Amino acid sequence: MNMGDINSILPDIPRFYTALAEWLACMLCILRMRRRINSWKLVAVSAVVLVLQSFFLILTDNQEDFLWIVCMAVAVGIMYIFIFACCNLSAKDAGYCCVRSFVLAEFMASLEWEIECFFYISGNLYYPHND
């Protein structure tokens, strides 16, 4: 089975879902740690990072092979900078939190996409992402 057959059976996760999952995973980490910034600054930085992560992943949606790996590395870099800038952590600890957040985000995005595909594709219901 080639990749074209796989994508016709189960399409790729929309990049916005991935961006939102990555942002939410970072927020879970940030809200549990002692922070460098608080209140309105945290809200502002968080909103900027969500927009940045979303635009970056949406703009790089059709990248394949090596460029896809580079794009994911940049996305992880954005997550790392977000966590390091917001939390009172060493670079090493921020890296650990970033890796945990990335794994959680990929799991969350995959689970959501599996559930959505189950109800829309398997159930032969109208599928809004194919327009």
Q: 10-40: per-residue pLDDT in tens?
A: 678 889 999 999 999 999 999 999 999 989 9
Q: Taking a C-beta distance cutoff of 8 angstroms, is the pair 22, 102 a contact?
A: yes
Q: What is the pLDDT of residue 52?
A: 96
H and E: helices and strands count for the chain? 5, 0
Instruction: Report the pLDDT averaged over residues 75-94.
Output: 96
85 CB burial (10 A radius; 0-12, 13-18, 19+): middle
Q: Is 78 exposed, middle or buried (0-12, 13-18, 19+ CB in 10 A)?
A: buried
Confidence of residue 3 (pLDDT cuts 50, 70, 90): very low
CB atoms near residue 82 (< 10 Å): 26
Q: Which two tokens stand for residue 1?
A: 């089975």
Q: How far apart are the first and last CA of the chain?
A: 25
- Helix 39-59 and helix 65-86: axis angle, to 10°? 180
pTM of the model: 0.83
pLDDT above 80 for 129 = no
